[in-house]
Amino acid sequence: MIRRAEPNDARAIYEILSKTDDPWTMGVVESELKSDSSKAFVYVDETSAVGGFVDIKILYDEADLMHIAVSEELRGQGIGAKLLAKVIEVAEGKAIALEVRKSNFKAISLYEKYDFKKESVRKNYYHGEDAAIMWRRK
């Protein structure tokens, strides 16, 4: 099930993000969960354990996908796709932008399935690795 992230989810979100290539500090996680412009959601299993996280900022007529991550043991089960679909629903037709490591072929493939297109490159964005900037404009 996907539901709105709550402040008491911060520790579980932090644990998931700490194992990614682009971790956030606990302070950033807590700040995002409190931000008025941020809309954060979690995937929870039948025991209510958090297994995935997505955060989007909606600003005027655009949205920026800030982070999407699934716990290592749950990857490959379609949870990332469900979280991405939730972001698209919440954006309500607004254009959505994101940055992704150029070497993250699995993520790029997922984004392309949801009509994101590579539009440019941000050099050395990820500590020396380029990021593809992708947009979904619908």
Is the residue at 11 inside a domain? yes
- Is pLDDT at 138 greater than 80 in this prediction? no
What is the pLDDT, as a whole number, of residue 127?
A: 86
What is the pLDDT, as a whole number, of residue 20?
A: 84
What is the pLDDT, as a whole number, of residue 18?
A: 92
**Average pLDDT for the chain:** 94
Is the residue at 109 inside a domain? no
Is the residue at 27 inside a domain? yes
CATH code at position 33: 3.40.630.30
The distance from CA 91 to its chain's CA centroid, rounded to whole angstroms, is 13
- Is pLDDT at 22 greater than 80 in this prediction? no
Share of the chain above pLDDT 90, in %: 87
**Structural domain of residue 67, as residue ranges?**
2-99
What is the pLDDT, as a whole number, of residue 6?
A: 94
Cα 70 to Cα 16, 44, 74, 101, 133: the distances in Å are 7, 11, 7, 16, 21
Structure tokens at 22: 């682009």
Instruction: State mean pLDDT over 98-120.
Output: 96
Is the residue at 105 inside a domain? no
Work out how many domains the chain is built from and give that number. Answer: 1
Is the residue at 55 inside a domain? yes
Is the residue at 42 inside a domain? yes
How does 32-44 read in b/e, with b if 16+ C-beta sit within 10 Å?
Answer: bbeeeebbbbbbb
Q: How confident is the model at residue 76 (pLDDT cuts 50, 70, 90)?
A: very high
Q: What is the pTM of this model?
A: 0.92
Is the residue at 79 inside a domain? yes
Is the residue at 132 inside a domain? no
- 55, β-bridge pairs: 40, 67
Q: How confident is the model at residue 40 (pLDDT cuts 50, 70, 90)?
A: very high
